Amino acid sequence: MNTVKTKQAIKRLTKDGSYNLIDKTIKKLIVEDGVIAEVIIGQKQAAFIKVKVGKNSSLRIINLIKKASADFEADVYTNGELRILNFTSHKDGFSQNIKVNLLSENASANIYTFDSNERAFAHDYHFQIDHLVPKTKSMIKNYFIAVNSQINGLFSSHIAKDCINSEAFQQTKGIVIGDKSAISAVPELLIDCFDVKASHGLAIGKLSDDILFYAMSRGLTELECLQMIIKGYLSPLIAEITDESFKDFVTSAFSLN
């Protein structure tokens, strides 16, 4: 793992590797052409970060939303790949905005979010991915658990005119626990041309009392049942992390050891 010293707010990644940027002041993150990088971010205060993913490059951002959220605006170029993995355990209300521009052929973007909100504050997300040239791909996946709380999301995938052979997919899964819980997710597919692939899926439901009773009858406490659900929802995102120390950090943050 590389630890980046921060005297400037612009971080330029010029070689392959993993970078720990927790509690660092970042305004711009640039991945040079041909670089494969993974970074872990956790902000003390709300931040807006500009991201550039160069040609034939790959950037994986592990964003821990605990003290404050980070908004992103990203440009992705030829054969570039951007993956943003949001892990949310924020105790207060907040909003996050992410906008991604796919600017060259074979550029791709994936935004994955896990949020287990157990406080009486709303968590709001607004993601927008714009396909501005042909042959681009995107995926938005959300895993939400609301415990006597609220999670809201507006997720927009736009394939512009003449951007043929592009693909845009969305999927949101959510569980509400408690009578005061709610999850509101609005998927938008804005398609301005033919010969593309696009779809969205939405599955939100209340945790069945029968399932909870069955698990507790086998000796589990209600808290242990909730931890099992959290672990199951977290697993797909944990699998996306390549750096083992980052995996351990995220797992520890959610007390799943």
Closest CA to 133 of 103, 90, 177: 103
pLDDT tens per residue across span 65-103: 887 788 999 999 999 999 999 998 877 888 999 999 999
Two tokens, residue 164: 């043929």
Q: Are 170 and 137 in contact (CB under 8 A)?
A: no
Q: Residue 175 is part of which domain span?
A: 2-210
9: pLDDT strictly greater than 90: no
Q: What pLDDT does residue 255 have?
A: 61
**What is d(CA 188, CA 139) in angstroms, rounded to the nearest whole number?**
13
In the sheet that holds 167-177, the strands lie side by side as 2-3, 17-22, 36-42, 58-65, 81-88, 108-117, 137-147, 167-177, 197-206
Torsion angle of the four alpha carbons 152, 42, 108, 203, in this order, in degrees rounded to the nearest 10: -30
Q: What pLDDT does residue 4 have?
A: 46
Residue 151, in any domain of the structure: yes
Residue 38, in any domain of the structure: yes
Residue 27, in any domain of the structure: yes
User: What pLDDT band is residue 5 in, cutting at 50, 70 and 90?
Assistant: very low
pLDDT tens per residue across span 18-44: 999 988 888 999 999 999 999 999 887
Residue 218, in any domain of the structure: no
Residue 253, in any domain of the structure: no
Q: What pLDDT does residue 1 have?
A: 53
Number of domains in the chain: 1
Q: Are 67 and 96 in contact (CB under 8 A)?
A: no
pLDDT tens per residue across span 186-243: 999 999 999 999 999 999 988 777 777 777 788 878 777 777 777 888 888 888 888 8
Q: Which amino acid, residue 103? A: L
Residue 225, in any domain of the structure: no
pTM check: above 0.85: yes
What separation in angstroms does the CA of 222 have from each of 28, 118, 216? 43, 14, 7
**What is d(CA 154, CA 102) in angstroms, rounded to the nearest whole number?**
19
**What is d(CA 227, CA 206) in angstroms, rounded to the nearest whole number?**
16
Residue 234, in any domain of the structure: no
Phi then psi for residue 111, to 5 deg, are -120, 115
Q: Are 21 and 44 in contact (CB under 8 A)?
A: no
**What is d(CA 191, CA 186) in angstroms, rounded to the nearest whole number?**
16
Closest CA to 137 of 168, 170, 103: 168
User: What pLDDT band is residue 169 in, cutting at 50, 70 and 90?
Assistant: very high
Residue 237, in any domain of the structure: no
Q: What distance, in Å, lies between the first and last C-alpha atoms of the chain? A: 21
pLDDT tens per residue across span 131-151: 999 999 999 999 999 988 999
User: What pLDDT band is residue 3 in, cutting at 50, 70 and 90?
Assistant: very low
